[in-house]
Amino acid sequence: MLTNPRATRVKAVRALGRRSVRERAHRFVADGPQSVREVLRFSPATAVEVYVDAETAQRHADLLEQARAADVPVHDCTAQVLAELADTQHPQGILAVCRPVDVPLDDALDAVVEPTAGFVVVLAQVRDPGNAGTVLRGADAAGARAVIVTDSSVDLYNPKVVRSTAGSLWHLPVVVGAPLESVIDGCRRRGIAVLAADGAGEVLLPDADLHGPHAWVMGNEAWGLPHELRDRCDEVVRVPIHGHAESLNLAMAATICLYASAAAQTPVKSTASRR
């Protein structure tokens, strides 16, 4: 039982809240039962250790069972230690220290053309952790083959990003730190159409051809995509705005685009209508 909130080990986990420390240590924190469940379920080999307080250990005995089955050490600690470990105002009683899960760019892009045509989302210069995580969750739900985060974006292993993915971080291949140039080059080589989603686009989303393999490039929350990058894309597509709204926020625009891709590529499994 860990009882000392000032122990070196506690401080070391807490320090993973900082990007530089995460990058040096090749570790990050999955906070809360949902994240811990998903890492243990989808990527148990990347879970290094689990910390849990007594109350949560009782409430989520299944999680500890899962951890033990995967040979992941579980450390019991006081609620005070757990609060110190988690870089959040609302500690959730359990967290896992994890290894990064990102894959090489080529692997992710290969998955967009094989075995069938698929789609991928590229976050270029996205800075807001909540937006990044929400897009990742939406990409998972829409059935994207991968999520690519470029080198000038928020860190995918930032605790706020991890939390807002609601576990989707472990559900599909992610790439971090790829320069957008390399992403575009890799798409070209594989015949993947590169679509920029931007309010300044000339093609309306319902007019975009989403049947073949394609990549959605989403720019920064505030200033969109720089001209020179937009010009390198095959098409600049905009979500139609029907009312007086100036724009949609990034996560919403991305989700609408990704669901349009899903609709174009997924045969609808019709269920009986109740009407």
Q: Judged by CB under 8 A, which of 45, 69, 200, 241 binds a copy of itself?
A: 241
| Nearest approach, Cβ of residue 77 and a copy of itself (Å) | 27
Q: Which of residues 6 and 275 has its CB atom nearest to a copy of itself in the complex?
A: 275
Size of the site for a copy of itself (CB under 8 A): 52
- Closer residue to a copy of itself in complex, CB, 67/172: 172
Strand pairing category for 47-53 and 74-77: parallel
243 belongs to the binding site for a copy of itself (CB under 8 A)? yes
How many C-beta atoms surround the C-beta of residue 24 within 10 A?
10
Binding residue for a copy of itself (CB under 8 A) from 87, 102, 128, 140? 140
* Residues in 165-194 that interact with a copy of itself by CB under 8 A: 166-168, 171-172
Stretch that binds a copy of itself, among 63-71, 140-148, 152-160, 224-232 (CB under 8 A): 140-148
Contacts with a copy of itself in 198-217 (CB under 8 A)? 202-204, 206-209
The two tokens of residue 53 are: 């307080």
**Among residues 96 and 144, whose Cβ is nearest to a copy of itself?**
144
Contacts to a copy of itself by CB under 8 A: 42, 134, 137-144, 166-168, 171-172, 202-204, 206-209, 234-236, 239-249, 251-252, 255-256, 259, 262-263, 266, 268-275
